[in-house]
Chains A and B, each alone.
Chain A
């Protein structure tokens, strides 16, 4: 067992250079090209902006480790935000709105898990279908417009401070700690790589692999619900397309962080670095006045390059 931990640790170490190198290179390039980049407020800003993405990328890491995928997570985050706003506006209570957002996120996560685990529908088509459903619900609930007039206390969650630390960072750190605990210190966590690497063996060992899968996708939905609080607070409203497409950044962060799309190998710290890398890339391009279309292309190219090096490493092994 300790030997396995050691080899896993070694392979994790072997992965450090990839994403860390990219991160350092990007920071160096942007710091030299844009004077506003390496200021304390901007660097804090990058971390705060990355917090929402981290909440999506953490469960995405686990999902991809099971050889799964969740294309719906951006749309589910948007729907949770819409539900949060609609419920908060109609009841006047932020707490009720937040609970509703968590519930809808969890429901979609479990729905994904059920379709994938019990009905054996491939993850990408399952979550493409639920993406459509969530996006459709967003449009139907809002009729294509923004929901405004939210309680003013909402703003604290994105722009407030807790013990001098920006509140989104507190939530992000807690989420990271919890996911780290789940993946590396629980029995559930040991099942995650096995689900991707050798599901048959797991089943023969008497593990209910379906329940485990459903729990993992459920965690993804729940995290989207939590992220909805930050997102809604950030834009002080809810918009039916607010986080559409954010699943791409989440998947990109996981891929850049070195998690494999096959074989069940993943690395949570790599995902954290991947999220910061994507955050630095978008922030730096923003400061250089690059339109969001260029940013999307750059993120896409970064993913392809990351997967290319992965492929080379695989061929080398």
Chain B
């Protein structure tokens, strides 16, 4: 009886979860924009909007790799520290050799190595990812402080700085990079076997393993990608700031995780998308930008980011338990 019912076609308009999720979040973006343009004259200017997008692109680079990790049901708490280490090593290499390419290779390479370390701790040593990457956070941060020994490095070649602060046809260069990575990321996650395997591992690791997916090597892959993207983000960050100090990545982990969870990627794995993370980063950046425009002290930022993370996860859990019980 119940089987017959289940087999009967449902004449009900059901949009895929991805679409409704994104629609809700775009609505949130629109609401925030309307509110901010009402309360501040400075918000709706081309300059400010491009600035918001540029900030959002930085968050996106860090959060995109993390999104892949979270899609598998794992976590990477070492992102901020990885950005810091990559940025500092790249900065000294660019300064001493004058070659941005060597610096870029070093930053992405170091990020990848840190990510591989995380991956091996999770897959080989079977350490839970939240504790393995948390340990890595402190090791990487300690290494950064030791490497810099209190010094700061500043003043990079203009060609390199264009990566963070340059314009092409009136639009900041990081925005182009972000769009490129959004497109690549879309095809990687939705249109390749690798991407589908990442979702499958997060949805049900045991089933994924039984169906022949090489779970451990895919997990290593997402951790390496997460580290490498942090390395890439560190370059754009460095080019934008035009200086590097030991504490450069310290405050970046919480906003990065915030962007992913605001974007609707479930911390339990299997659900979410890179486009969602882009919107999540945009929402977070808009809120912080609004605080800035309203002259709210920067001291409030960690507090607000913490509240937003909790609110976003809570909303996500609430909608999830509703769809689960349906």
Contacts and interface: CB of A to CB of B under 8 A. Distances in A.
Interface of A: 69, 71, 115, 119-122, 124-126, 128-133, 135-137, 139-140, 143-144, 245, 248, 251-252, 255, 261-262, 291-297, 299-301, 303-304, 307-308, 311, 314-315
Contact of B306 (A124, A129, A245, A262): A129
Given A291-B145, A311-B126, A136 B139 contact: no
Contacts of B136: 300
A121 B138 contact: no
With most chain A CB atoms within 10 A of its CB, the pick from B125, B246, B310, B313 is B310
B138 A296 contact: yes
B301 A136 contact: yes
Contacts of B175: none
Interface of B: 75, 77, 121, 125-128, 130-132, 134-136, 138-139, 141-146, 149, 246, 253-254, 257, 261, 267-268, 297, 299-307, 309-310, 313-314, 317
Which among B75, B145, B302 has the highest number of chain A CB atoms within 10 Å? B302
Contact of B139 (A125, A126, A140, A300): A300
B148 to A, nearest CB: 9
Contacts of B121: 304, 307
B76 to A, nearest CB: 11
Given A133-B306, A297-B146, A255 B131 contact: yes
A304 B302 contact: no
18 contacts: A128-B309, A130-B310, A131-B306, A132-B303, A132-B305, A133-B302, A135-B302, A136-B299, A139-B302, A252-B135, A255-B131, A293-B145, A300-B136, A300-B139, A304-B132, A304-B135, A307-B127, A311-B126
A129 B302 contact: no
A128 B142 CA distance: 20
Contacts of B127: 261, 304, 307-308, 311
A236 to B, nearest CB: 24
A101 B261 CA distance: 32
Contacts, number: 141
A251 B142 contact: no
A307 B121 CA distance: 9
A69 B131 contact: yes
Nearest to A131: B306
Contacts of B126: 311, 314-315
B224 to A, nearest CB: 18
Given A115-B310, A132-B306, A248 B138 contact: yes
B118 to A, nearest CB: 11
A136 B267 contact: no
B91 to A, nearest CB: 17
Nearest to B133: A124
A125 B261 contact: yes
Given A124-B75, A126-B313, A293-B142, 7 more contacts: A124-B130, A125-B75, A129-B309, A133-B306, A139-B299, A297-B146, A308-B125
A297 B313 contact: no
